[in-house]
Structure 1
Amino acid sequence: EGSAGSLIEPLLDSVILQHHRLPDFKVRDIPLQDALDIAHQALVAAAERDIHTGDFAEIFIVTRGGVEKQVRTLKFD
């Protein structure tokens, strides 16, 4: 876990895992690409708020077919 984990984890818990929702909230499946985009945007937002977060993030996608690693750019400064 990187230095921005405490910023990102609650957001992903709420958006991806649907934690801390009102009882009548309907859970929906999120397509893989949407989940990756949400995770990337959360990492970008955290990188803007945490000076110790680097310029790139490694995202590991675990499926029945195996593990894929993507490297995503976070900052351009």
Structure 2
Amino acid sequence: MTFADPEDVWQSLQESLAEDWMALPVWARNLAFRLLCLQRPDAAEILGQAGSDLLSFGPDWDDFAEELLARSQELKKKEV
């Protein structure tokens, strides 16, 4: 995954989550979303989904999740 094309990581992640939302361990989800956010820092959809996903797994990451969601919303406003 580390050297995979971002589009391939995104597609694989979407397929996996659609099949069975809890199939991927939390560490793998976090790693995939982190790589995507680093490679696509201006992709509102990726940032928003990463933030929502983090909110699903405990309060430890809530601050990061809120930052990702806020950034996603800012980017969406610029798209309109």
Higher percent of residues as strand:
1
Q: Which TM-score applies when normalising by structure 1?
A: 0.38
Higher percent of residues as helix:
2
The higher-RCO structure (CA 8 Å, 6+ apart) is: 1
